[in-house]
Amino acid sequence: MLTTGKLVRDRIPQIIRADGAEPEVYVAEPAEYRERLRAKLAEEVAEYMEADETDAPEELADVLEVAFALAADLGVNADQLEKIRASKAEQRGGFSERIVWTGNR
């Protein structure tokens, strides 16, 4: 269970320094990094869910950034991830038709 700190984007320490403060940071070990990425994904999804239509695209971009980082942690680059997504869409479809399943008869 992670109790202190949070995973931030790579340039955040530089931005904090540019604002005149000195950040306290460390580099997470691989297992902690994966755990923190998962927590970050939940955080970003929650922010997207709370966003209005104006802020939603930016929050969705944050979700995508974390998804790309999680994929990279698994050894999958963005192009490979897109190929997996496209293959699933070809086999099972996407969500553009807005179909809602309510069960079977």
Model pLDDT, residue 104: 97
Does residue 1 carry a pLDDT above 70?
no
Query: How many domains is the chain partitioned into structurally?
Result: 1
Tell me if 25 is assigned to some domain.
Answer: yes
Tell me if 1 is assigned to some domain.
Answer: no
Which residue range is the domain that position 41 belongs to?
A: 12-92
Model pLDDT, residue 18: 98
Cα separation of 78 and 70, whole Å? 10
Model pLDDT, residue 50: 98
What's the mean pLDDT when you consider all of the chain? 96
The closest of 75, 78, 53 to 67, measured between CA atoms, is 78
Tell me if 100 is assigned to some domain.
Answer: no
Tell me if 35 is assigned to some domain.
Answer: yes
Model pLDDT, residue 3: 74
Rounded to an integer, the average pLDDT of 83-94 is 98
How many CB atoms are located within 10 Å of the residue 70 CB?
17
